[in-house]
A and B are shown apart, each in its own frame.
Chain A
Amino acid sequence: MEALAHLAAASLTGDETKKAYAALSSGFAYGLAAIGPGIGIGYLVGKSVEAMARQPEAAGMVRTTMFLGIAFTEALALIGFVVFILVGL
């Protein structure tokens, strides 16, 4: 709160404005990028657990495929994280 008030009160130069917006948007970038993969990974793992419970003898194959799926799904969140690093820090 104090930070925002401080930001509002100060007469920011162009450079500072840029930094402020960068900080703001980097936070949004990562937050938004985490939503989809969060849902996706939850759904994926839940379904995999269901499959393993139904067919325990296929658990090894399901687990391998699950990790592959997680890897692909997670990539989106990680790209968001990289954007966060690039823009914000």
Chain B
Amino acid sequence: MLTAVIHLQGAGWHASSSGTASTSPATGSDAPATSEATTGTEEHVPAGDLTKPGPIVPEMKELAWGAGSFIVLAVLMRWFLFPRLKRSMDARYQGIQADHAAAESARQAARTEVADYEAQVAAIRAEANQVVDAARNEVEAERQAKVAALQASLGEQRSAAAAEAEAARQAAQSQIAAAVGDVAGRAGELATGRRPADDVVSRVVSEVMAR
């Protein structure tokens, strides 16, 4: 765990007085400066590799290696790695875009087809309604005609019957009047010895009967 090298001796500040530091464990197997003088009694930093370049002075070898590796990475990325990746990414995106467009156009086509179908259905329905209406009108007219004819024949029959009845009644009445006139004439003849005139008798009879 502790690769951050522990170098407990001969360093920096420490608060306790001397004499205890010699028991320090000095771990850190990969300590960079194990060759340091590490006598515990020494108060000051052992000069040498550890203090010479300050902690923020860049080291030339690190700079050179870092620069070289970054430039290699950047150049490869610019001219080779990135374009290759990007090309296939773009191809895939365009494929997906094309698929999307195809799906969209298919949806449009389906939508127009549905609209067509609906228009056709509406036309057929209108036609059917028309036919039904016509048939209904026809039937209605026929019915009307039949009813009228029936009513006409009924009226005819009724008036014929009425006329027949009237004729019969007239005949009966005239027969009755004749009979009554005859009887009345005979009765007058018997009473007065003189036969009354026929026209007077019949007038009287019809007056009485009309009463």
Contacts and interface: CB of A to CB of B under 8 A. Distances in A.
A6 B12 contact: no
Contact of A3 (B12, B15, B44, B55): B15
A1 B138 CA distance: 122
A23 B13 CA distance: 9
B12 A2 contact: no
Contacts, number: 17
B15 A2 contact: yes
Interface stretch (A33-41, A49-57, A81-89): A81-89
B17 A85 contact: no
B15 A86 contact: no
Interface string B3-43: 00000000011011100000000000000000000000000
B56 A89 contact: no
Nearest to A2: B15
Given A85-B56, A86-B56, A2 B13 contact: no
Interface string A57-72: 0000000000000000
Interface residues of B, number: 9
A85 B55 contact: yes
B54 interface: yes
Nearest to B51: A89
A6 B56 contact: no
Interface in B95-153: none
Contacts of B15: 2-3, 6
Interface string B35-75: 00000000010000000001110000000000000000000
A29 to B, nearest CB: 15
Interface of B: 12-13, 15-17, 44, 54-56
Interface of A: 2-3, 6, 15, 19, 23, 82, 85-86, 89
